[in-house]
């Protein structure tokens, strides 16, 4: 029986599963398939949907570097990579305890007691449990770094997907996983590199900000710094693709990204917006895909 393809093991705000076809259509496939590009770098790995797609569909790529500034996320990736058996044992225990109870209050109590323990020990199995059982699969922390997303009250969450975790672990053997901001990816980038940037969104509106997934939010100045970094690696001969939400969804006169990336190719594609507490705030929006090739 063929091994199942690995897929993201965490839900993550801004996940790119729905944009994979659009992203794939814009990859520098000729250079990847010829071996001219042999390295993939993703400085904001998040849920990793694009990494999982590319690593399993483009076998000529030899090296993968995955970075994120979120230490809990990177700790979780490394646990899946380095000790998946131990992770699965702990996760199975949490999974069984949760599903043994049909009582919503008991499940809620287990969720909040696990959240409290996670904020003390930052255990990766607890993070996966919280991710599968919290509201909307969000990762959000307070100013002190405490995970504070409320309970999600799902009937039958897939807390321990053992088969996928093992597939992910095998795939991650190809990757170096690094905790750091996007500038730390520079040492891995040269003319043989393809870089995919999926930074925290520039908020569509003041109430729609999910950029604070680490204690230090990603500001407009950070967006400008990232644009400058893109110009820098362009000068090194690297190829990059960057995705972000189009601010024109809210304000047709907002040319922020057109101004920041004016020397590059900017395309608009349709995407669905799911993470919004109001149903009226969900639906089709425009996303930007920016390339230097």
**Domain range summary for the chain, segments of one domain joined by +:** 17-69+180-291, 76-163
pLDDT-derived band at 285 (thresholds 50, 70, 90) equals confident
Of the ranges 10-24, 127-141, 263-277, the best mean pLDDT one: 127-141
Q: What is the pLDDT at residue 203? A: 65
- 75 DSSP assignment: H
> 17-69+180-291 and 76-163 share one CATH topology?
no
Looking at domain 17-69+180-291, which of 3.20.20.120, 3.40.50.620, 3.40.50.10540, 3.40.50.150 is its CATH number? 3.40.50.150
Residue 270: burial class (beta carbons within 10 Å; 0-12, 13-18, 19+): exposed
Neighbours of 198 (CB within 10 A): 25
Q: Over the chain, what is the mean pLDDT?
A: 91
The residues near 48 (Cβ < 8 Å, ≥ 6 apart) are 8, 42, 66, 77
Provide the pLDDT for residue 205. 54
pLDDT computed for residue 56 by the predictor:
98
Tens-digit pLDDT profile for residues 227-270: 999 999 999 999 999 999 888 888 899 999 999 999 999 999 99
- What's residue 103's pLDDT? 86
DSSP 136-205: GG---B-TT--B-PPB---SS-----HHHHHHHHHHHTTEEEEES-GGGGGGG-STTEEEEE-PPPPPSS
The CATH number fitting domain 76-163, selected from 1.10.3210.10, 1.20.140.10, 3.30.1330.10, 1.10.1020.10: 1.10.1020.10
107-138: per-residue pLDDT in tens? 999 999 999 999 999 999 999 999 999 999 99
Q: How many angstroms separate the CA atoms of 176 and 45, rounded?
A: 12
Token pair, residue 115, equals 């959240």
Residue 280 has pLDDT above 80, yes or no: no
Q: How far is CA 155 from the centre of its chain?
A: 25
> pLDDT tens digits for 141-163?
998 999 999 999 898 999 999 99
pLDDT bin (cut points 50, 70, 90) of residue 283 is low
Q: What is the pLDDT of residues 77-94, one digit of tens each?
A: 999 999 999 999 999 999
Write down the pLDDT at residue 209: 47
Least confident of 168-172, 183-187, 275-279, 282-286: 275-279
Is the pLDDT at 210 greater than 60? The verdict is no
């Amino acid at each position: 029986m063929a091994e199942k393809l690995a897929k993201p093991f965490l839900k993550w705000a801004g996940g790119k599963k729905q944009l994979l076809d659009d992203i794939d259509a814009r990859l520098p496939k000729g250079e990847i398939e010829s071996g001219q590009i042999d390295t993939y770098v993703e400085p904001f790995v998040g849920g990793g949907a694009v990494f999982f797609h590319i690593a399993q569909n483009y076998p000529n790529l030899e090296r993968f570097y995955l970075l994120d500034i979120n230490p809990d996320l990177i700790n979780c990736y490394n646990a899946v990579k380095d000790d998946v058996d131990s992770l699965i044992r702990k996760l199975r225990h949490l999974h069984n305890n949760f599903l043994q109870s049909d009582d919503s209050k008991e499940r809620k109590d287990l969720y909040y007691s696990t959240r409290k323990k996670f904020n003390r020990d930052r255990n990766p199995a607890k993070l996966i449990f919280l991710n599968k059982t919290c509201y909307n699969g969000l990762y959000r922390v307070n100013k002190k770094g405490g995970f504070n997303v409320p309970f999600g009250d799902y009937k039958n969450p897939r807390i321990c997907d053992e088969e996928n975790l093992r597939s992910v672990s095998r795939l991650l053997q190809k990757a170096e996983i690094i905790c750091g901001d996007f500038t730390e990816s520079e040492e891995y980038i040269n003319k043989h590199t393809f870089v995919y940037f999926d930074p925290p969104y520039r908020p569509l509106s003041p109430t729609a900000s999910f950029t604070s997934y680490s204690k230090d939010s990603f500001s407009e100045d950070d967006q400008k710094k990232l644009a400058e970094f893109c110009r820098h690696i362009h000068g090194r001969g690297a190829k990059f693709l960057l995705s972000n939400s189009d601010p024109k969804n809210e304000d047709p006169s907002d040319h922020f990204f057109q101004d920041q990336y004016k020397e590059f190719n900017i395309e608009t594609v349709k995407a669905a917006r799911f993470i919004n507490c109001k149903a009226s705030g969900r639906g089709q929006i425009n996303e930007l895909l920016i390339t230097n090739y």
